[in-house]
Amino acid sequence: MKVMKFGGTSVGSASRMQHVAELVSSAGRNLVVLSAMSGTTNTLVEIAGYLYNHNSEGARDTISRLEGKYLKVIKELYSTEEYAAKARDFVHEIFAFLGTFSKQLFGPVQEKMILAQGELLSTHLMLWYMQEKGINAVLLPALDFMRTDVQGEPDGDFIREHLTKLIDENPEAQLFLTQGFICRNAHDEVDNLQRGGSDYTASLVGAALQAEEIQIWTDIDGMHNNDPRVVKDTEAVRHLHFEEAAELAYFGAKILHPTCIQPARYANIPVRLLNTMEPEAPGTLINNIPEPGTIKAVAAKDNIVAIKIKSSRMLLAHGFLRKVFEIFESYRTPIDMICTSEVGVSMSIDDTRYLGEIIHDLKKYGTVTVDLDMCIICVVGDMDWENVGFESKALSAMKDIPVRMVSYGGSNYNISFLIKEEDKEEALKALSASLFAK
Ligand code: ADP
Ligand code: ASP
Ligand code: MG
């Protein structure tokens, strides 16, 4: 069995849904994971925003605009009144449910219930379309098997046990459908795996089922060697090691959610990135096989803050770094990059929720300076330190750009630069020109 995950644009219109149905119906008895139709989750976030602000009118208008969009999709999607009516009733029910929130107290629990409706809509519309076409598809409700534990981490045993049971109960099914992104938490409330989290669902269910392959179908022909939203003429990379893919996803390559690689990697299940609009294109294969001697791709992560602590007295004294790290740990703030010298240590973070508190606490140990609006540029490929020339190639591409920090040697797969966000475009273009130009 394979897991095939289709993102928002892949199911973003009636015709796209029809295309996906055709594509998966000839692919075998697989588990198909769907995101919400593109734009829906953003609109649901908007609705929740109005409700937080007690703006019932704003919520109502946005709800009815979104409902109109779905009714239009239904008109185009189905060819029989029987299925169109089924879908219309379901859509009315969901939007009536969304309408009930304005009368209640509104908080994060309610917000998550609202955000879950996008995937519930897309999967039901797809289920009925498939059934109308005579495909024996069975919808496995993600809220019955996707579960997080008290730490908010996926509960692998629960997922495996419940998902396997649901599959075993349906021996006649030609294929299975389920919702990406949504889950229940340890308190049995409706929750989610964070924005973009359908990739994570795919990887978790793939690992739970020991799937043959996890396919992430999207609107581009695989992982490109640079951010196609910023740089022209980027090209698809045909093969990545799990670690390379994880670095790229973590450092900003939006095609993959950063959490998606780990479960696949632990279960040693290959991940393939494929293009829904061009299903014959080879895409990108991600697996455990290293490929020496190549620089694969570049990615950038925005909204980074650099923090430097200088302390001529204490820095390299025994236990100093531990004290510094404990401060970050106490605010559950991960450090992305770190550089040390005899008199100072610089770190970068992207979660700035506790920046004020962290700076306050660090001041106990030295002089603290902070640079906002920074960006990490990550060059990924064979960066084994014993190879000569790879890191210097990346470094020399950055020769005209002020670099705040460099990180190399943490893994065999990357070299990262911390620069100003305003220099990102120039840096990405310079790296493409020097590393990938033919
Ligand atoms: P989906 O809705 O299918 O999950 P996403 O929008 O999350 O799709 O991811 C696909 C998008 O990721 C592409 O349209 C592309 O603009 C963007 N992207 C950013 N960096 C890369 C990269 N290195 N390679 C491919 N796509 C990238
Ligand atoms: N629909 C969710 C989002 O837009 C999850 C996903 O698409 O992966 O964030
Ligand atoms: Mg995505």
Residues 337-362 pLDDT 10s: 999 887 889 999 999 999 999 999 99
Q: Which class for 334: exposed (0-12), middle (13-18), buried (19 or more C-beta within 10 A)? A: exposed
pLDDT digits (tens, 9 = 90+) for 202-259: 999 999 999 999 999 999 999 999 999 999 999 999 999 999 999 999 999 999 999 9
Q: Using the atom order of ligand 1, give the atom closest to the CA of residue 8.
A: 2
Q: Which ligand is nearest to the CA of 196?
A: 2
Ligand 3 centroid–CA 35 distance in Å is: 9
Which atom, in ligand 1's list, is nearest to the CA of 9?
A: 2
As residues whose CB is below 5 A from the ion ligand 3, the structure lists 7, 196
How high is the pLDDT of residue 311? 82
pLDDT exceeds cutoff 60 at 315: no
pLDDT digits (tens, 9 = 90+) for 186-203: 999 999 999 999 999 999
| DSSP symbols for 37-100 | PTTHHHHHHHHHHHHHTT-HHHHHHHHHHHHHHHHHHHHHH-SSHHHHHHHHHHHHHHHHHHHH
Measured from the Cα of 7, ligand 2's closest atom is: 7
229 lines ligand 1 (CB under 6 A): yes
Find, among 89, 87, 92, 153, the residue nearest to 123 by Cα.
87
Return mean pLDDT, the chain: 95
163: phi then psi, degrees, rounded to nearest 5: -70, -45
Q: How far apart are CA 211 and CA 207, in angstroms?
A: 6
Give the model's confidence band at 316: pLDDT under 50 very low, under 70 low, under 90 confident, else very high: low
Give the mean model confidence (pLDDT) for residues 32-45: 98
**Residue to mutate, 255, 256, 271, 431, ligand 1, most ligand atoms under 8 Å from C-beta:** 255
Q: Report d(CA 395, CA 267) in Å as an integer.
A: 35
Residues with C-beta less than 6 Å from any ligand 2 atom: 7-8, 35-36, 41, 118, 180-181, 195-198
Percentage of the chain lying above the pLDDT 90 cut: 89
User: Between 343 and 124, whose confidence is greater?
Assistant: 124
Helix (H) or strand (E) holding 346: strand 344-349
| Residue 385 CB burial class (10 angstroms; 0-12, 13-18, ≥19) | exposed
Does residue 255 have its Cβ closer than 6 Å to ligand 1?
yes
pLDDT of residue 314: 61
Strand, coil or helix: 401: coil
Cβ–ligand 1 distance for 218 under 6 Å, the answer yes
- Is residue 131 pLDDT above 60, yes or no? yes
Q: Indicate which atom in ligand 2 lies nearest the CA of residue 196.
A: 8
Pick the residue with more confidence: 320 or 93? 93
CA–CA dist 304, 376 (Å, integer): 7
Q: Is the CB of 16 under 6 A from ligand 1?
A: no
Pocket lining: 122 vs ligand 1, CB cutoff 6 Å? no
Q: Is the pLDDT of residue 363 over 70?
A: yes
Q: Are strands 271-275 and 284-287 parallel, antiparallel or unpaired?
A: antiparallel
